[in-house]
Every structure is written in C-alpha cells, then in structure tokens.
C-alpha cells in the first residue's frame, strides 16, 4: 500500500511540475514578443527594489492595516512552503515528518510558527473576501472586473482558506495520533494550535483519525499542485512575477517620458535646417499598435498586474467619470498577448488576425489620460500603464493623424511657427515693442 501511494505521489508531482514548466515557457515567449530593451544597469539599485518592493511590500504600507493582512498571506505563501518541502519529500520517500529528527526541538517551534501563520492567513482571506463581496469597495465594483477577473480573486481566497484548513486539520489529527503512539506517528512535541484542537478528538477512533489525517494530507498537497498550475491563468501570477518586475523596474524619476531621438532630431532640423543630413532615414514606425511594438518590459508589467485597482482608484480621469481605467489597460494588454499566444500555438507562428491593441482599447480611453503618473505612483509592484498609453497615443497621432481638431491646430502651429500659438516667429517680440510705445 505504501509503495502505491509513493508511485501515485511521484506521478502527481512530476505531472504538475512539467505542466507548470510548460505554461511558464509560454508566458516567457509571450513576454518576449515585445521589443528588446536593456535593463542591465545599476544592479545594486535593482536588488534594493526587489527587497523593498517585492519582499518588503513597501508601497502596500501606505495603508498599514491592509498591508499587515496582505503580509500575513504573503509570508504564509513564502514560509509555509518550507513545510510543503517536507510534505513533498515525505510523499516521494514514503516517510512521515522527515525533518523532525534533523531539526530536533526546533521542529516543534517551526510547526508552531507555520500554524500561527496559517491561522493569520485564514483570517486575512476571510476579511478580504468580505471586503470584495460584502463591503464591496469601489475599486472592486468596477466593470473592469466583470466576469472571470472577479471570480478569479474569489477562487484564490477560497482556495487559500481550504489549504490552511487542510493543513491545520492534518496537524490536529496527526498530533492526536502521536499522543496515542500509533505506528509511524512519532511524538515530535506538542503543537501550540493543533495540540489544543486535538484534545476534543480523544473519543474518535484511531481508524477515523488516520483516514482524516491522510485525506487532509493528500488534499493539501494536491491543492498546492493544483494552485501552482492555476497561477499561469490567474492574476495571482504576480506572486511569482513581482520579484523580476521589481528588479527590472524603471529607475528614471517619475514624470520622465521616453522621447524618440528621431523625432527630436526632426524638430532640431526644422529649427536649424542647415544641420539636417541629406541621407536621413525616417523611423519605420511611431508608437505602438500591437504588443509587438511595446517593450518586453511593458508586457512583463501586464502579466505582473495584481488587478488591485489602486491605479484606477487614483486616476483623476476615472474619478471624474471618464472611460479610462489604467487597470483595464493592463488587463487588455495581457488579454491581447494571450490571444496572440493561442494564435502561435495553433499555427506554429503568428498569423495576422486583423486585430491589434486598438481592438481592445478605445481612443476615448487613451485621450482621457492626463499623463499625471498617479497610476504609476500607486502601483504596489511598480507597473506603468502610462507607458503603454503614451505609445498607443503616439501611434494614433503620428501614424494615423488621429487627434482632436484642437490638437491638430496646435500641431500645425508648432510645425509652422515653432510655438503652440498662431503667431509668426518674426512677430514673437512684437509685444515688447508695443509696451515701449
């Protein structure tokens, strides 16, 4: 019987890991659909961002209460994985509590810490479920989340509650079996929480306890493997991508916008024609129409989006009732990437589907942006919806000449008069002479 369980576990573990690796490979391919950009500079600052933004969740602590609850879930995910490692080794080797002998008395302290974290994670998930579905905060009521995104967030929280419940139940019945001295359930010391919960189980039969303990063990580890393979289809992929996203975050001061050197040169040539080269070649493309025209860093942003809505809640355009939602910009970019990925999977290469990012994002949304950087400032994992918005607007204006009439008048004045106003450059100092008279 034991050897059959080992074989089943090894097949489950190997299949889960291989499937996860396959999905990660697809996500990497989708991210690399974007243009290449170099982010190899200032490694010291970048590692600092990893520790402050990803590990330390620095931006989350603007709201201390929510940050602490989120930290419980985050710490539970990171630290309880040590316990998962033991479960994996137990399953593969046919052992039970493999680390108990190696760690001695420290083992009981570790399990106590894991159980305390499990309780905190469970409570935090219940509170977050209530915030989303009972209190219904404004940023969670947005139509951006209609359908799958809203369900996805609830599924993850419910899964976390179930996993922590299985873990605590497994330990509680395990401790009850240790007290009875049942075979293979060696006494490793009293667990603070599960030891207390095991007291009412004194009347339960040993067979029942073993059945419950083994069932919860299998449900717990199977749930973790299932969760692992759910991540690539969920916004909770940010659990993993927050770390590279923090490392590759932009180090330029907020408000710095990327200009196209070729366009800057054209302006210089217009003002100083004598400096213009005779063999200058224009850029192949201005701005972005599809994900291929964005940088890989923009696409990593899209996959790292937590859909928390802090960017949209801070957006002045959205607050005043305009259509723009920075969260939706990131979700739409990710959806387009996924669509292209399915196209490649089906055809072996990308076949033109007569779609682009403008099939997802409207001109009205893009024009509502004030470029104020509020969305960038608020994002807990340093995502920049603004970069994508600016690239799409650049394409609209410079590729398609698609701009409001007021903007076109200004562009014409800049082109002809080198200023936004409809005055000849020769008359620019006329106001001074009029003051003298």
Please enumerate in sequence order all residues whose Cβ is within 8 A of that of 182, keeping only pairs 6 or more positions apart, or say none.
Answer: 206, 209, 210
- The CATH number given to whatever domain includes residue 320 is 1.10.1060
> 57 falls in which pLDDT band (50, 70, 90)?
confident
Report the pLDDT averaged over residues 56-63. 79
Alpha helices in 199-351 (DSSP H): 206-230, 238-247, 261-271, 296-304, 310-314, 316-319, 326-347
DSSP state, 231?
A: G
pLDDT in the model for residue 344: 95
In a domain, 399, yes or no: yes
pLDDT (tens digit per residue) in 298-320: 999 999 998 988 999 999 999 99
> Same domain, yes or no, for 290 and 188?
no
pLDDT (tens digit per residue) in 198-207: 878 877 888 9
Residue 149 scores a pLDDT above 70: yes
In a domain, 367, yes or no: yes
Nearest partner of 376 among 269, 257, 275, judged by Cα: 257
> Same domain, yes or no, for 267 and 232?
no
> Same domain, yes or no, for 222 and 303?
no
> Same domain, yes or no, for 346 and 274?
yes
In a domain, 189, yes or no: yes
> Same domain, yes or no, for 184 and 331?
no
> Tokens in use for 170?
């497994």
Tell me the residue length of the chain.
437
Residue 159 scores a pLDDT above 80: yes
> Same domain, yes or no, for 200 and 308?
no
pLDDT in the model for residue 332: 95
Domain boundary among 239, 269, 304: 239
> Same domain, yes or no, for 165 and 279?
no
In a domain, 36, yes or no: no
pLDDT in the model for residue 279: 66
In a domain, 360, yes or no: yes
pLDDT (tens digit per residue) in 272-302: 777 777 666 666 788 899 999 999 999 999 9
Query: Model-level pTM?
Result: 0.84
pLDDT in the model for residue 278: 66
pLDDT (tens digit per residue) in 196-234: 888 788 778 889 999 999 999 999 999 989 988 998 988
Q: What is the rounded average pLDDT for all residues in the chain?
A: 86
Query: What is the domain extent for residue 114?
Result: 2-31+63-239
Which residue pairs from 201-209 have beta carbons closer than 8 angstroms and sit at least 24 positions apart in sequence? 201/172, 201/173, 201/176, 202/176, 204/176, 206/177, 206/180, 206/182, 209/173, 209/176, 209/177, 209/180, 209/182
> 61 falls in which pLDDT band (50, 70, 90)?
confident
Residue 238 scores a pLDDT above 70: yes
Domain boundary among 180, 205, 239: 239
In a domain, 266, yes or no: yes
Give the rounded percent of residues in the chain with a pLDDT score beyond 70: 96
> Same domain, yes or no, for 18 and 131?
yes
pLDDT in the model for residue 346: 93
In a domain, 308, yes or no: yes
pLDDT in the model for residue 282: 67
> Same domain, yes or no, for 207 and 320?
no
Number of structural domains found in the chain: 2
> 437 falls in which pLDDT band (50, 70, 90)?
low
Domain boundary among 186, 206, 239: 239
Bigger pLDDT: 168 vs 107? 168
> Same domain, yes or no, for 140 and 268?
no
Q: CA 181 to CA 207: how far, in whole Å? A: 13
pLDDT in the model for residue 17: 93
- The CATH number given to whatever domain includes residue 116 is 1.20.950
> Same domain, yes or no, for 186 and 284?
no
pLDDT in the model for residue 343: 95
Distances in whole angstroms, Cα of residue 115 to Cα of each of 85, 194, 352: 16, 8, 52
> Same domain, yes or no, for 133 and 211?
yes
pLDDT (tens digit per residue) in 75-114: 777 777 777 888 888 888 888 887 887 777 788 888 888 8
pLDDT in the model for residue 62: 79
In a domain, 115, yes or no: yes
């Amino acid at each position: 019987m034991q050897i059959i369980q080992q074989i089943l576990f090894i097949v489950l573990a190997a299949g889960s890991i291989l499937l996860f690796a396959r999905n990660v490979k697809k996500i990497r391919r989708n991210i690399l659909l974007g243009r290449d950009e170099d982010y190899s500079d200032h490694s010291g600052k970048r590692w600092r961002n990893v520790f402050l933004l990803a590990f330390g969740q620095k931006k989350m602590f603007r709201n201390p209460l929510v940050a602490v609850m989120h930290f419980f879930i985050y710490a539970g995910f990171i630290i309880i994985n040590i316990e998962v490692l033991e479960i994996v080794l137990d399953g593969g080797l046919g052992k039970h509590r493999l680390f108990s002998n190696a760690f001695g008395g420290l083992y009981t302290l570790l399990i106590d810490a894991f159980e305390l974290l499990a309780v905190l994670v469970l409570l935090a998930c219940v509170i977050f479920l209530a915030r989303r579905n009972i209190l219904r905060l404004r940023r969670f009521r947005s139509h951006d989340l209609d359908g799958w995104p809203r369900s996805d967030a609830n599924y993850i929280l419910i899964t976390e509650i179930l996993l922590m419940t299985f873990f605590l139940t497994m330990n509680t019945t395990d401790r009850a079996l240790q007290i009875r001295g049942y075979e293979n359930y060696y006494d490793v010391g009293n667990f603070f929480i599960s030891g207390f919960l095991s007291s009412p189980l004194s009347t339960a039969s040993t067979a029942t306890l073993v059945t419950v303990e083994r069932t919860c063990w299998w449900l717990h580890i199977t749930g973790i493997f299932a969760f692992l393979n759910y991540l690539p289809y969920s916004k909770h992929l940010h659990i993993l991508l927050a770390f590279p996203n923090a490392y590759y975050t932009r180090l330029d001061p907020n408000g710095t916008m990327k200009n196209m050197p070729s366009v800057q040169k054209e302006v210089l040539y217009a003002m100083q024609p004598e400096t213009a080269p005779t063999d200058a070649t224009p850029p192949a493309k201005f701005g972005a129409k599809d994900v291929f025209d964005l940088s890989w860093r923009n696409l990593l942003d899209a996959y790292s989006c937590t859909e928390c809505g802090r960017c949209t809640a801070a957006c002045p355009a959205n607050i005043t009732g305009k259509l723009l939602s920075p969260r939706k910009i990131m979700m739409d970019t990710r959806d387009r990437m996924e669509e292209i990925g399915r196209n490649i999977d089906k055809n072996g290469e990308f076949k033109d589907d007569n779609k682009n990012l403008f099939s997802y994002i409207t001109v009205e949304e893009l024009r509502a942006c004030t470029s104020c950087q509020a969305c960038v400032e608020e994002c807990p994992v340093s995502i920049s919806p603004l970069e994508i918005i600016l690239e799409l607007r650049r394409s609209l204006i410079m590729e398609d000449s698609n701009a409001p009439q007021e903007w076109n008048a200004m562009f014409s004045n800049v082109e002809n008069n080198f200023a936004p106003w409809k005055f000849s450059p020769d008359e620019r100092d006329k106001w001074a002479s009029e003051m003298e008279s």
